[in-house]
Amino acid sequence: MTNERSKLALGLATALRGLILALALGIACTMLVLIPVMASQAADAYPEVAYLRWPFVALLEVASVAGLVVLGSLWRLIALGRAGEFLSEASARPLGLATVSFIIAAATFLGIDAYLAVGLQAAPPLVFYGLLAGGLACLAAALVLRALLGQVRSAEAVKRELEEFV
């Protein structure tokens, strides 16, 4: 039974790592191709706001890097889980990094959204709601990871108490 669980856990970890690699490749392609191409097309289509091309490209690249940091943190958490160390203080750093990265991405999405909607008063509904949904999803993920960090720290405290007792 334990051997079957071990094989299942290894398969799950391998599948998750494959998914992380695919997502990282997608983010890299988005950073290198999609964002610059779409920014160029938008600058050509709307010359009155073409000056926003490079600031928005830079902000979206920052959000993309934040996504890569989250994926790297998840990779590390999978390794800690495989080693049986997920509920230890070793998980605090990757959880903290992922939380901060989600907050940076949320601030980027919501900041761009607010500037387009309020500052320029030129936010098409699809763009407005897309950026809003992305920002809120990142904030929700940051809250979940913050709660998970609290649980990991609680588990570590219980573990220390047990070790002192025994």
Report pLDDT digits (tens) over 16-35: 999 999 999 999 999 999 99
At residue 96, the pLDDT reads 95
Structure tokens that stand for 3 in this block: 């051997």
pLDDT digits over 75-123, tens only?
999 999 888 888 888 999 999 999 999 999 999 999 999 999 999 888 8
How large a percentage of the chain has pLDDT more than 70? 99
| SS3 call for 124 | coil
Cα–Cα distance for residue pair 2/5, rounded to 1 Å = 5
Query: Whole-model pTM above 0.85?
Result: yes
At residue 111, the pLDDT reads 96
pLDDT digits over 9-21, tens only?
788 889 999 999 9
